[in-house]
Amino acid sequence: MKDKLDAIVAPAGGATWSIAAVAGYPYITVPAGFINEMPAGIGFFGRAFSEPSLIKIAYAFEQQTKARKTPQFLAKASA
């Protein structure tokens, strides 16, 4: 990662976390909204030892989007 790059952002799902893990970089996932009533997330990863900056970036995203909703039980589908 270049000096001027604070984080890389990608949709969370599948093995996006593995890119960061293999490289030894910190990774954080936060809620990003819903797709067909299913929660979707977004992942941020940064340089080694950049956890404080990465947490600030992820927190700012959460505060701006307000994408997290309180979980609810959905009505049982009839068979």
Q: Is residue 26 part of a domain?
A: yes
Q: Of residues 40 and 13, which shows the higher confidence score? A: 40
Cβ–Cβ under 8 Å, residues 28 and 58 = yes
This prediction has a pTM of 0.78
pLDDT at 72 over 80: no
Question: Sorting pLDDT into bands at 50, 70 and 90, what band is 71?
Answer: confident
Residue 60 pLDDT: 97
Q: Is residue 14 part of a domain?
A: yes
Instruction: Write down the residue that tokens 């997330």 correspond to.
Output: 41
How many folded domains does the chain comprise? 1
Q: Is residue 31 part of a domain?
A: yes
Distance of CA 17 to the CA centre of its chain: 9
Q: Is residue 71 part of a domain?
A: no
Written in H, E and C, the secondary structure of the chain is CCCCCCCEEEEECCCHHHHHHHHCCCEEEEEEEEECCEEEEEEEECCCCCHHHHHHHHHHHHHHHCCCCCCCCCCCCCC
Residue 17 pLDDT: 65
Q: Is residue 74 part of a domain?
A: no
What is the amino acid identity at position 21? A
pLDDT per residue over 18-60, tens digit each?
778 888 889 999 999 988 888 899 999 898 899 999 999 999 9
